[in-house]
Amino acid sequence: MYSRSRIVAVLLALIAILSACARKKHRIDYAVNPPAPAQSQLPSTEIGLASWYGHPYHGRAAADGEIYDMEKLTAAHRTLPFNTWVRVTNLANNKTVEVRIIDRGPFIAGRIIDLSHAAAQTIELIGPGVAQVRIDIIAAPPAAVASTWYGVQAGAFQDHDRAERYRVTLAAQYGTARLVYHDGSPGLWRVLVGAVNSLDEAALLARRVQAEVGSGFVVRLDDPPAPARSPSAAPFK
């Protein structure tokens, strides 16, 4: 017969083995099923109004830091990552042009892309100035998910004090709001609310803002922690 001490030792050994197996199983499950990272959601196609821009932005820094040349095939978009290539089709004449996203805009409700002068010429947009287009993504850079943030533009004002009063009101209503200066003719103080890293969440917030304050559309926040810009800051389009 086994002694009591030997039985106790065997039981303790079995407990240790079972515990180790349980820990090992937990580690294996975690390795096989790691938490899925947030995915960058890019619409493959958009339909809406396109406009174009030239002077006074020609020769100034675009939102990605490079110098904007209105005779190159580039464009501004509110949410697509920089260096995304898109094909733009003018639905009035079926003319197309391929452009690279280097800038932010247009910050007018209903418009979805701001083309360079050269791109606008290619699809005969110069005359009408605005046209209904379809945007198809050709190639997008690898998404930096951790730095992808979106907000909602709820208003824009030429007067800084009016913009600041509105920002304070919206901050109390939505928890966070900021001012971003848009250098132009005239310059505008844009009032942005929210900071979420999902386009779906941003779209929900935009619908709420539209219902509660009357206007709002999704914009990409390329540098969400940045303080409000002043007219002397680098141009932001």
Check residues 11 and 130 and name the one with the higher pLDDT.
130
| Bond from prior residue into 106 cis (ω within 30 degrees of 0) | yes
Check residues 146 and 26 and name the one with the higher pLDDT.
146
Q: Under CATH, to which class is 148-221 assigned?
A: alpha beta
Per-residue pLDDT at 143 = 59
Residue type, 191: V
What does the pLDDT average to over 81-88?
95
Task: Please report, in angstroms and rounded to a whole number, the separation of the first and last CA atoms in the chain.
Answer: 87
HEC profile of 156-220 = EECCHHHHHHHHHHHHHHHCCEEEEEECCCCCEEEEEEEEECCHHHHHHHHHHHHHHHCCCEEEE
Q: Which two tokens stand for residue 211?
A: 């219902």
Q: Which two tokens stand for residue 39?
A: 């995915």
Per-residue pLDDT at 235 = 37
What does the pLDDT average to over 101-130?
95
- Alpha-carbon distance of 165 to 168, in angstroms, equals 5
Per-residue pLDDT at 114 = 98
Tell me the range of 18-27, 102-111, 117-126 where mean pLDDT is highest.
Answer: 117-126
User: For the chain, how big is the Rg over CA atoms in Å?
Assistant: 26
Q: Is the dihedral of CA 220, 51, 85, 139 positive or negative?
A: positive
HEC profile of 23-62 = HHHHHHHHHHCCCCCCCCCCCCEEEEEEEEEECECCCCEC
Query: 88: which strand partners?
Result: 97, 135
pLDDT of 226 > 50? The answer is no
Per CATH, the homologous superfamily of domain 45-139 is RlpA-like domain (2.40.40.10)
Residue 175, phi then psi, degrees to nearest 5: 90, -30
Taking Cα atoms as reference points, which of 42, 224, 217, 21 lies closest to residue 143?
42
pLDDT of 233 > 60? The answer is no
Residue type, 46: E
Q: How would residue 44 be classed by pLDDT, with cut points 50, 70 and 90? A: confident
CB 152 within 8 A of CB 205: yes
Check residues 131 and 232 and name the one with the higher pLDDT.
131
Q: How would residue 41 be classed by pLDDT, with cut points 50, 70 and 90? A: low
pLDDT of 47 > 60? The answer is yes
| Bond from prior residue into 186 cis (ω within 30 degrees of 0) | yes
Q: Is 8 helix (H, G, I), strand (E, B) or coil?
A: helix
